[in-house]
Amino acid sequence: MKKEEPKKIATNKAESISKPETKQIGISDSRAKKIKHSYSVKDPENSLVLKLKDGDVVIEMFADVAPKHVARIKELVRKKFYDGLKFHRVIEGFMAQTGCPLGIGTGGSGKKLAQEFSKLPHKRGTVSMARAMDPNSADSQFFICFNNCTWLDGQYTIWGEVTSGMEYVDTITKGNGPNGMVIQPDEIITLRVVADL
């Protein structure tokens, strides 16, 4: 018997294979409901999820106490106004301030709001509007209190309270500059109304 020569397999030059494009998969309705229910809130329409570098912060808004401010905050949130804005002023033991599109504390959305002061106290987790000397000058900037700040009571519009994730607020980079200015500030990743998730 004749020994057969082994067949040689032709080798093709490897063609450069490009990576397939990453496909973005939408969230199903059932998954969206699970996400929404994972945040324990009284009223999804009046609750926010603030995504920070270390985790999610849930803020319940006081629509009955500061209706105009809550309506305006929701309007800005739904326009994604706050996404990427810096915590430009952060003072250890006091508060973390954000909401300036310029990132330096002098800007806003361009719409001033009349004050809605209340008897609610500024305590740890309180979310309140920043303003200039004029009580009716609040715009888009707000701050979250690290501790009780009773000297602010009755002078700033309180519109919400952190109900979970305060430990992530505590890790926001503190400022060393004048008046708590932060050199390399943390940013809001996203800010969303829970009902919209």
Mean pLDDT for 27-53 is: 76
The whole-model pTM stands at 0.82
Nearest to 128 by CA among 106, 107, 103, 98: 98
- Angle, alpha carbons 56-85-39 (nearest 5°): 20
Give me the pLDDT at residue 94, please: 97
Mean pLDDT on 61-89: 98
- Is the pLDDT at 120 greater than 70? The verdict is yes
pLDDT of residue 29: 54
Domains of the chain with CATH codes: 29-196 (2.40.100.10)
pLDDT at residue 166 greater than cutoff 90: yes
Q: Are 140 and 188 in contact (CB under 8 A)?
A: no
**pLDDT at 24 (0 to 100):** 45
Average pLDDT over residues 78-102: 98
For residue 3, name the pLDDT band (cuts at 50, 70, 90). low
Q: Which residue has the higher pLDDT, 8 or 103?
A: 103
Mean pLDDT of 8-29: 47
Q: What is the pLDDT of residues 28-38, one digit of tens each?
A: 555 445 555 57
Query: Whole-angstrom Cα distance, residue 134 to residue 138?
Result: 8
88-99 mean pLDDT:
98
Averaged confidence pLDDT in the chain: 88
Give residue 83's identity as a one-letter amino acid code.
Answer: D
